Every structure is written in structure tokens, then in C-alpha cells.
Amino acid sequence: MSFPGAVAFLWAASWRNRARLQLKRLRKPRYLLGLLVGAAYLYSVFIRRMDFRGPAGGMSEGMRLFAELSLVGSAMGTLFAAWVLGRDRPSLTFSETEVIQLFPAPVARRALLQYKLARGLMGTSLGALFATLFLGRSLSPHPVLFFVGACLALGTLYLHSTAASFVRTRLAERGTWGRVVRCGAVAAVLGLAALAVLGSLREHPVPVDLTSGRALRAWLQSMMDSPGVGAVLWPGRLLVAPALARSVREFFMALPPVLVLLAAHYVWVLLAEVPFEETAVARAEARSRERVLRASGRMTRVGAMTLSRPPFRLLARGRPEVAILWKNLIARKRLGGGFAVFLVFIVLGGAIAAVMGDTRMFTDTRRVLGPVALTLAVTLTVVGPSAFRMDLRMDLPKLDLLRALPLTGQQVVRAQLAASGLVVAAFQLALLAVALLLGPGVEASRLGDWWWPGGLALALLLPAISLAGLFVQNAAVVLFPAWVPADIGERARGLEAMGQRLLALVGTLVVTLVGLMPAGLVALVVGLPLSAFLGPWSLPVAALAAAGVLVGEVALGVMALGRAFERLDLSEERPA
Amino acid sequence: MDSVLRVEGLEKTYGDVKAVQGLTFEVAPGEVLGLVGPNGAGKTSTLRCLAGILPPSAGQVWVAGHDLSRAPVDAKRALAFLPDEPRFFEYLTVWEHLNFTARLYGVEDWEARGRALLEEMELSGKEKSLPGELSRGMKQKLSIACGFLHSPKLILLDEPLTGLDPIGIRRMKASLRRRAEEGAALVLSSHLLPLVEELCHRLLVIAGGKAMALGSLEDIRARLSGADAAQASLEELFVRITSAGAPPP
């Protein structure tokens, strides 16, 4: 069998076997149910909103301009990244299996390269299909033409990136001289582009009044039609022209240059070919190591992990489960996932506020900082249990290790919950402190007497609610390991797996809400009668009662979950 | 003398698959029992059941007099399980792993013991290393150091020499022999038949989850029929027992 024949067989057999496996999985009710839910979700969110009834009435000029600019900008960004970002090495990526199976095979490097290019082009075609499904109808009256155009554009960009990586490798092999040539060429192109844009700006200065969309559109159109910017954008516009064609005739008019570009890039890749085996092997090994780390429980980059000091000194004497709390707090400090998410959350919020022109954040801190901190503390109650995962979700992939420890199931569950619970509570209390101390306070007209009692009530209630949320999420991975997998990185794929995850998410939310109901009732029963005597100060009393109920529920749950943990046998839950 | 490990009618099933079927045996203090069998014989499942990792489907296990199903914490405190693929918390350093183990088992003099074990395992100087920075053999040694820290009465080893270099293998054999001489009971699962022959006092040969032979090498030789059974090597006996089957012990 020739190499192309072998590759065709490999792909066909792989797809057939994957389909068979997925069909076989559907014999299990949980996957069948997952498939139904996943399909219903996909239909209601995406497919139902698509309109395949023929060409739409047509896109507005403004919309078309925006679409063209976005696509051209993406294409130009890809070209920039190919020449400026990343390392000077071939961009071809092979899996470890491909390295082991194909590299020692009697196959020429050129054949391996063509195999990889074919795979890459298949990947870009899949990307084009998704783009057509989700965007095609909005951007083009002919989804099929949009798909073909997107395939050609994405394929050309893929070939360009590959060729650029080969050229960069060749130049890097020449040392400083090669780097100077590349940087000089890139700088020259960027400089020429900047000069062209500046020239166009001189001809078409930014209008003083850009408040109306029409004025902005007119100015953008004039810029794009000017010789300078037109020349800069020409390659990108050429590339996206077939995808954005408004008619079949326009499509066929735009097609030949793109086909020529595609063919020229293919020839360029073959001519620029460099030895890629060494890089491919190193990348495959790195990916394999990452996969093993993920499978072992947590993706970590050893080189990037800072060996921060443990949170406290762990003595040999004392309750043994404190060792788990200690190690999980170390994990939080060194892996820092939850905190990173939290920081991203804050930075993004600030950036959005700044972009939207809400400068109050930076001027009237007392009016803004308090409510922002309060909002974050409340949001953390919902987001925290998902973001901070130093508990059973992190450790369950190491079930062998946990089960061999001389601890009861209750001890393990309690200690595992404690780390995430303490960290979330610490963040919530810190944010509440910021809100209460730096917010508008009792001087605010509407808050007045409620400021401190309300703050105290939240300080009691929010950590308890988060603890309940953490418990439900941890219980889910122990009680339904097949439905709610722990953090093992390698997640099951397919529509049925997506449906399973959706069901698990809804189930977790429902259980959390049901768990909150008794606490809410107790808070009402305690708080309402007391409000007549204590006024606003009945709030913290009611919150204390509600928090007590929640903590009691969690304590009872820990006892039950501990027993379930002792009986947990993941060997019986392995997917088929 | 009372046995450190007593197993009666141990069974483990995964769905319809019977991985372990009715194993019954004992291991005395200072004794090394070799667990041998072909791939898929049920060795690892047996060891995991003995370590309290997998709940047995039937049967009972006593470790140092503690029923593993009724008093699992006391039983686990008396044993160490060293898997073939060591698992660590990748964010804890070598020294922190020893600290963690010391708290779990209440080893008050853990620092002195830890230093001695790191010395013995040639891991001195690696105290601040993360598991991801250790080679395969070093990870195996760290696993053994953590396992030995609390001086367990029962040591369960699954392919203990995987990844070790020749000097490491020699040291490890000496270390295991010393633990046995100090009174620990060892159950050692390995495909390395010369290692089993060298270290083990008795053998438990399993195939298809069932015990095919149990006893010293001489006992097994004597039990097997055939003209050349008396001179047969362990390898020959292994092949004969596991391929043709043998009368249960």
C-alpha cells in the first residue's frame, strides 16, 4: 500500500472506529440521555436560529464594511503573527503516535510534509464549516459560497504560516545575520504600511464628529478606498473577497486570484521545506508530558511553579487530616488557578468599565469601589465554588493515593472541603471589608442604618453559601463520577458528553437551590419577628441562623459523602 | 507467630469480569511473599484490595490484626503500598511529601528518619525538588522513602524495581531484605522472576484471578508432577503452572 493509501486507510478507520465507539456508548442510558439533551441544546441555541431558506435580503453596507474589516484584520493579524510572534522553528505539529508510527516508516520527508499539510487543510476546512454555520448567514447571502471562500482563505493563511515558519527557521540558522534580515524586512513592511496609512490619514483626516455611525462608515470607506490603506489591505481583501461575494458572478470573479495565491503558497511551502523532525519530536514529547500531567490530576508547568512557602508549619503531631488542608493550601499558592481567574475577572471588569467610558471608577472611588467590592463578594459566592478547586475535584484523579491514606472518608472529605472553603471565605471577607470600610457607608441616604447590619449579615451568610456550593460540586464528583468527571484534563468528547455536562450543571444548580431553601425559611422565621425589636440588626441574626442551617446541612452531607467516598470504586465507572 | 497479613476468600469483580477469585493466604512477620502471574492475572487488583484502595467484592483482609473493612484506618496505618507507577502531588516538594506523610502517620522523628531515607535512596540534595523535576527512578525512590517513613508492618510492592538503574536495584533489594529482617512482612508483585526467586520466601502464583500455586519454590516443585519438575527453574515452573494450570494449593 502506498503512503497516501495508508493515510487514507488510517483516517477512514479512525473515523469509523470513533463513530462505532460513540454509538456503542449510547447503549448506556446516561450517554443516550446526554445525546438527547446535547442535541436539544445544539438545536435550540444554534440550528433553530439558522435560516437556510435561500439568500437573505442582503446585508447593510455598514454591516458589510464591518464584516470585511474584521475578516481582513484577522487575516492581516495572522500574517503579522506568522512573521513576528512565536519561535523560529517549523510550525508543524505531530502527535506522539504520528512520530512513533510515521517517522521510522519508509516515507520521504516530503510525503510527511504533504500528509501534515493535508491534515492542516482539513482542520481549516472544519473551521470554515463552523464559521459558515455560526456566521455565514449573517455575512453572506450564499452560505455555500461563503464556506468555499472561507476554506480557501483559511487554507491560504495556514500555508502562509507554515511557509513563514520554514523561512524563519532557515534565517535563524544563519545566526545574527538571518535575524537582522527578518527583523529588517518586517520593519520595512511595517514602516511602509505605517507611511501608507499616514498618507491616507492626511488625505482623509479623522472627522471631528464621529458620533453618528454614518459618519464613521463614510470615513472608513474613504480610508479603505484611498491608495495607501487600499494597498496595505489589498492582500487581505483579495483573500476574503470570495467568502463575502454578494452573488455567484462576484464569487467567480474573485476566485481566480485566491486560487493562484493558494497554489503559490503550496509551492512556496514545498520550496521552503526545512528538516522538521527534531522540533516535531520535541513538541510531541512536550504535549505527551502535558497530557500525562493532566491525566494525573492537574496540568502544571513545573518550570513556572514558584516554590512559595507553605501557609503554616505542619507538625507531625495532631489531627492527620490537617495534612490534606496543608497540602491543598500549598496547591492554591503554587498553582493559583482560582486567584488567577478572580484577577482576570477584576481586570476585565475594570477594562470594560473604562472602555464604556465610565470614568467614575477612577475619580469617585468612594461611590464606586464599595459597590464594586460588594458585587465581587456576592459574585464570588456563585463563581467561587467553581473557580477554587483545591478539593476532591483536584485530587480525585489520585484516588489510589487518597484511598491508601490512613484516614476515614469523612476526614478526607472534610479536609478537602476546608481548603477551598477557607480560601473563598477569606476573599469574600476581604472584599466585604473593603466594601464596608471604603463604600459610601452610613452617610448614604438610602442605606443609612442598614449599612453595618447588612454587611455583617453578608459576612456571615456568603461564606456559608459558598461552602454549600463547594459541597454540592464535590459531592457530584464522588456520587456521579461518570457524569461529573474530576479535573483530569482529558475530557470525553462528543454531543453526548456535552449533554451529560449540561445535565450535571443543571443538577448541581438545582441541588444547591434546594439546599438553600431551608436556610431561607429559617432566616425568615427568625428574622421577621426580631425585626420589630432589633430593626436592621435582625438581619445579622437571621443570617447567622441561615448560615447555621447551611453549615449543619454540609456537616450532615460530609458524613454521608464520607461513607460514599469509602465505597467509591472508580474501576466500576470507567467509560466503555 | 501471628501473621501480619491474613486474606480469606478475597474476590474482586469489575462488572462481569472476575479479576480475583477466592484468594486465601497469610504472610508472617519477616516473610517475603512473591505474587507472580501473567499479565491480567489479577496481581494489581489483589494488591489494591490489600491496600484498601479497592473495596473487595467478597472476602476478608486483616492487616496487623485489624480487619481492613471494619477498621480501615488502623489497618492502613500499619501498611505501605508502593505502586508500580508512583503518584505524587506535583505541587509538593520531596521534603514536603515526607512532612505530609509524617503528619498522616504521626511520625514525630520524621526529619531524622526522612534524612536517613533520602540518603539511603540517593535523594539527598533533592529535598526542594518537585516530582516533575525527578527522573522515573527517582520518583520510584521517593515513593519508597515515603512508604518506609512510618516503619510499616506490611509493605505491598507492585513492580518495585521499575525505572531503577542497576545500582538502585542492588540497593533496593538490600533495603527490602533489611525491612524483612527487621520484622516487616512484604508482598512483592513482579514479572522479574530472578528477583522473586532471590528475595521471596514463598510464592503465590495466580492466573485468571485464581491461586494456582502457593508455597516455597521447593514446595511448588514437589507438588508438580513430571520427571524434570525437581530441577525446573522458576521460569519453567511459572510457564507450566500458568499455561497448563495446576492443582489449587
Residue A371 grid cell: 459597590
Mean pLDDT of all residues in A79-84? 90
Q: Is the pLDDT of residue A4 over 50?
A: yes
3-state SS, residue B206: strand
- The C-alpha of B182 sits at a distance from chain A's nearest C-alpha, in angstroms, of 23
Q: In angstroms, how far apart are the furthest CA atoms of chain B?
A: 58
**A273 occurs within a structural domain:** yes
Last residue of a domain, one of A255, A286, A317: A286
Identify the pLDDT of residue A493: 67
DSSP bridge partners of B185? B154
Query: Is A471 found in the same domain as A425?
Result: yes
3-state SS, residue B33: strand
Identify the pLDDT of residue A487: 62
Residue A85 lies in domain = 59-286
- Greater confidence, A175 or B114? B114
- Greater confidence, B111 or A512? B111
Q: Is the pLDDT of residue B223 over 80?
A: no
3-state SS, residue A439: coil
Contact B105 A406 (CB under 8 A): yes
Q: Is the pLDDT of residue A55 over 50?
A: no
Q: What percent of chain A lies above the pLDDT cut of 70? A: 83
Chain B residues with CB inside 8 Å of A334's CB?
Answer: 91
Chain B residues with CB inside 8 Å of A326's CB?
Answer: 100, 103
Please, what sign has the CA dihedral across residues A329, A333, A336, A340? positive
- The C-alpha of A437 sits at a distance from chain B's nearest C-alpha, in angstroms, of 36
Chain A residues with CB inside 8 Å of B87's CB?
Answer: 296, 398, 400-401
Chain A residues with CB inside 8 Å of B52's CB?
Answer: 403-404
Residue A336 sits at the chain B interface (C-beta within 8 Å): no
Identify the pLDDT of residue A138: 73
- Cα distance between residue B170 and residue A299, in whole Å: 35
**A506 occurs within a structural domain:** yes
Query: Is A462 found in the same domain as A365?
Result: yes
Query: Is A545 found in the same domain as A515?
Result: yes
Q: In which element (H, E) is residue B185 found?
A: strand B185-189
Query: Minimal Cα distance from A400: which residue of B?
Result: B53
- Greater confidence, A410 or A444? A410
R_g over Cα of chain B: 18
Contact B110 A316 (CB under 8 A): yes
Q: How confident is residue A447, by pLDDT bands cut at 50, 70 and 90?
A: low
Last residue of a domain, one of A286, A312, A328: A286
CA A381-A387-A393 angle, 5° bins = 115
**A37 occurs within a structural domain:** no
Q: In this predicted structure, which of A206-215, B58-67, B129-138 has the lowest mean pLDDT?
A: A206-215
Contact B15 A572 (CB under 8 A): yes
Inter-residue contact A473 to A465 (CB < 8 Å): no
Residue A408 sits at the chain B interface (C-beta within 8 Å): yes
- Greater confidence, A383 or A268? A268
State the pTM of this model. Answer: 0.73
- The predicted-structure confidence for A242-279, as pLDDT tens digits, reads as follows 988 888 898 999 999 999 999 999 999 999 888 888 88
Hey, how many other C-beta atoms are within 10 angstroms of the C-beta on B139?
Answer: 19
Query: Is A261 found in the same domain as A154?
Result: yes
Identify the pLDDT of residue A456: 92
Q: Is the pLDDT of residue A35 over 80?
A: yes
Query: Is A359 found in the same domain as A276?
Result: no
Contact A315 B103 (CB under 8 A): yes
Kindly give, in sequence order, each residue whose CB lies less than 8 Å from that of residue B131, ignoring residues fewer than 6 positions away: B88, B89, B90, B92, B94, B97, B139, B142
Inter-residue contact B203 to B217 (CB < 8 Å): yes
Inter-residue contact A236 to A193 (CB < 8 Å): no
**A9 occurs within a structural domain:** no
Query: Minimal Cα distance from A321: which residue of B?
Result: B104
Identify the pLDDT of residue A46: 67
Residue A73 grid cell: 484584520
- Cα distance between residue A435 and residue B3, in whole Å: 64
Contact A403 B102 (CB under 8 A): no
3-state SS, residue A498: helix
Chain B residues with CB inside 8 Å of A308's CB?
Answer: none
Query: Is A481 found in the same domain as A390?
Result: yes
CA B34-B40-B42 angle, 5° bins = 50
Mean pLDDT of all residues in A99-123? 88
Mean pLDDT of all residues in B35-39? 90
Q: Is the pLDDT of residue A558 over 90?
A: yes
Query: Minimal Cα distance from A410: which residue of B?
Result: B73
Residue A356 sits at the chain B interface (C-beta within 8 Å): no
Q: What totals of helices (H) and strands (E) does chain A contain, helices first?
A: 22, 0
Identify the pLDDT of residue B246: 46
Which amino acid appears at position A434 of this protein?
V
R_g over Cα of chain A: 30
Inter-residue contact B158 to B43 (CB < 8 Å): yes
Identify the pLDDT of residue A41: 81
Identify the pLDDT of residue B154: 96
What is the secondary structure of B38-63 as a DSSP string?
STTSSHHHHHHHHTTSSPPSEEEEEE
Chain A residues with CB inside 8 Å of B48's CB?
Answer: 400
Residue A300 sits at the chain B interface (C-beta within 8 Å): yes
Query: Is A549 found in the same domain as A489?
Result: yes
DSSP type of residue B230: G
If you average pLDDT over every residue of chain A, what do you get?
82
Q: What percent of chain B lies above the pLDDT cut of 90? A: 59
Identify the pLDDT of residue A573: 46
Contact A330 B96 (CB under 8 A): yes
**A503 occurs within a structural domain:** yes
**A34 occurs within a structural domain:** no
Query: Is A416 found in the same domain as A513?
Result: yes
Q: Is the pLDDT of residue B107 over 70?
A: yes
Identify the pLDDT of residue B240: 78
Q: How confident is residue A302, by pLDDT bands cut at 50, 70 and 90?
A: very low
- Cα distance between residue B123 and residue A390, in whole Å: 29
Q: What totals of helices (H) and strands (E) does chain B contain, helices first?
A: 9, 10
Which member of B91, B96, B107 has the closest CB to residue A316? B107
Last residue of a domain, one of A286, A314, A345: A286
Identify the pLDDT of residue B112: 96
Contact A302 B130 (CB under 8 A): yes
- The predicted-structure confidence for B175-214, as pLDDT tens digits, reads as follows 999 999 999 999 999 888 888 888 999 999 998 889 988 9
Query: Is A340 found in the same domain as A254?
Result: no
The residue of B90, B150, B153 whose CB has the most chain A CBs within 10 angstroms, and thus the best one to mutate to test that interface, is B90
What is the secondary structure of B112-146 as a DSSP string?
HHHHHHHHHTT-TT-TT--GGGS-HHHHHHHHHHH
Query: Is A449 found in the same domain as A409?
Result: yes
- The predicted-structure confidence for A514-554, as pLDDT tens digits, reads as follows 889 999 999 999 998 988 888 888 999 999 999 999 999 99
Q: Is the pLDDT of residue A300 over 50?
A: no
What domains sit in chain B, N to C, each tagged with a CATH number? 5-78+152-244 (3.40.50.300), 87-151 (no CATH)
Nearest to B157, CA basis, from B165, B166, B148: B148
Quote the number of domains for chain A.
2
Identify the pLDDT of residue B14: 84
- The predicted-structure confidence for A462-495, as pLDDT tens digits, reads as follows 999 999 999 998 998 888 776 666 665 555 667 7
Provide the edge-to-edge strand list for the sheet that holds B5-14: B17-27, B5-14, B58-63, B66-67
Contact A320 B103 (CB under 8 A): yes
3-state SS, residue B21: strand
- Helical axes A3-25 vs A109-131, angle rounded to 10°: 40
Q: Where are the alpha helices (DSSP H) in A26-142?
A: 29-45, 61-84, 96-102, 109-131, 137-139
Query: Is A378 found in the same domain as A267?
Result: no
Interface of B with A (CB under 8 A): 14-15, 48, 51-55, 72-74, 76-77, 81, 83, 87-93, 96, 99-100, 102-108, 110, 128, 130, 132-133
Q: Is the pLDDT of residue B2 over 70?
A: yes
Mean pLDDT of all residues in B69-80? 93
**A14 occurs within a structural domain:** no
Mean pLDDT of all residues in A60-82? 84
Contact B90 A307 (CB under 8 A): no
Q: Which phi and psi (to 5°) does residue A81 adopt?
A: -60, -40
- Cα distance between residue A370 and residue A451, in whole Å: 11
